[in-house]
Structure 1
């Protein structure tokens, strides 16, 4: 049924896909300008006027730095939640991330802090934790097309994920609206399997390009070294602190899988990672190589 929806983060990659899906399903959508998230009274006035049944937040810090994470992943979402409650919204759908299940980074802790606030708020809630996005696995397409080697960490099998397309994730998010099976739940979600490693991503790209695979290994320790060097200046400079955090983020993604973490074994388990949608990474890579922008 058509629903009045307030969407925050509509200018982002996932948010814009959610906006298109909401409009295709006939929902009445009001978008929140990013600047309004820092103005509590203006935000409340906007939401009260929109009278949303559902609020969807797709906002996320762009850099992942501690300052940005606190301001966006926590504070801006908290302001949005307060305004949603004031406006009488019945459901708050949060786009989070699967990596928060093993937190060590500033943005992960900020996301978890807001997840806890949302769960304790009394509003109907749904927390969606996607795995990797197609976009995040596409940074080396042009390298391969240019004949350069595909960069891997270690042997290329340190991490695995079940990436999901923007469109499939958008459909999963809108499918949670007024869905009793989604209320009060944290929902990890990936795209069609099987889980794929970094090495397999590279081999897939070369196969689609009609070339023999050329892989170049880099040790993830390079990020630890960078973090330590940059960390020396972190207490005295915001620039050094931010760059040090970037190195920590890079090391995390080079060594941790984006799959559900088995609570008993504390290992990543592809079989426990739900799948949704029909778009495949292979089709996305092929579309990028053909210049059509991906799926």
Structure 2
């Protein structure tokens, strides 16, 4: 969806998750646009009384949540992706905020993981709450596709799953995503909607990401294939202990998370065909992954 940009008067905004990479980009964008931004601390999200006091001082017209579980482990996902957002929503309604903008994730379309189910549970509560809402589901972030920069720079091959074409995505930069979030503020086209969003296309595979990175480094592309089945084997080995040990439960979930991202595309899931669809995945912004790779290589 390419929203019509609405230029509105500065708003009073409470932002949760400003310490993260996306949240900090959102804070910078909102401040640059002249909004009165109050950032809710992580401590406030864990303390309803402190959050209520913060809300009372800020009197936000709009609340934006960029909080997310850092690990994806079941308990952490329940605590952050669901419960912390519930506390934030309750506080937003108490002070009469008109809009709640939630940064979710495109992968919740196919919920096989604990953090996806926690996100969906909160999305449902938000939709049913009666507050004006906008749920934004971005595709892959540049940061999540940058883990192999040092490998390539040091001369090691780029790791792929299978032939490297199992998945595709339209990655979006922090800056562009922050712009999309800011354009949803008070925008009638974003009112009470769930909005998937990607960066400028085309959709790229893992192999194409590697080729892009090698090109940015001025090196001949080299790949090493890994079977996604290793994550299935790891989960099976860990699962027997999951019922009695949090450590085993977390490690088994990490294996499921790794398998998911190795085999599932970060694109819109066509409800008719059941397949991921490039054409149905909206594009926004100007930043490219290739330029991001060049910047990282120069900085490292």
TM-score by length of 2: 0.96
C-alpha distance in 2, partners of 1:285/1:38? 37
Structure 1 residue 233: deviation in Å? 1.2
1:135 aligns with 2:132: no
- Matched pairs, number: 292
Match of 1:116 among 115, 118, 124: 124
Residue 194 (str. 1) matches residue 192 (str. 2): no
Rounded to whole Å, the distance in 1 between the matches of 2:167 and 2:180 is 24
- Structure 2, gaps ≥5 residues long: 1-8
Q: Does 1:247 align with 2:251?
A: no
1:230-267 alpha-carbon deviations (Å, 9 max, x no partner): 11211121111101100000000000000000000010
**1:273 Cα deviation after fit:** 0.3
Aligned counterpart, 2:158:
150
Specify the alignment match of 2:69 in structure 1: 61
Superposed, 1:97-246 pairs within 5 Å as 97-246=105-254
Please tell me whether the aligned partners of residues 227 and 244 of structure 1 are also in contact (alpha carbons under 8 angstroms).
yes
Alignment of 1:258 with 2:290, yes or no, is: no
Provide the C-alpha distance between the structure 1 equivalents of 2:295 and 2:215, rounded to a whole number of angstroms.
Answer: 14
Secondary structure at the aligned position of 2:235 is classed as: helix
Shift of residue 45 of structure 1?
Answer: 2.0
Q: Hey, what does 2:284 align to over in structure 1?
A: 276
* 3-state SS in 2 of match to 1:156: coil
- Does 1:81 pair with 2:89? yes
Q: Are 1:48 and 1:86, in contact at CA under 8 Å, matched by a contact in 2?
A: no
Query: 1:268: how far off?
Result: 0.3
- Is residue 2 from structure 1 mapped to residue 28 from structure 2 by the alignment? no
| Distance in 2 of aligned mates of 1:223 and 1:14 | 28
Q: How far apart, CA to CA, are the structure 2 residues paired with 1:291 and 1:45?
A: 42
Secondary structure, aligned partner of 1:181: helix
1:4-32 Cα offsets, whole Å, 9 max, x none, are 00000000000000000000000000000
Q: Give distance in 2, aligned partners of 1:83 and 1:65.
A: 26
Q: Secondary structure at the match of 1:111?
A: helix
Q: Which residue of 2 aligns with 1:289?
A: 297
TM-score, scaled to structure 1: 0.98
Q: Could you say what secondary structure the match of 2:56 adopts?
A: helix
Quote the offset at 1:205 in angstroms. 1.1
Unaligned runs of 5+ in 1: none
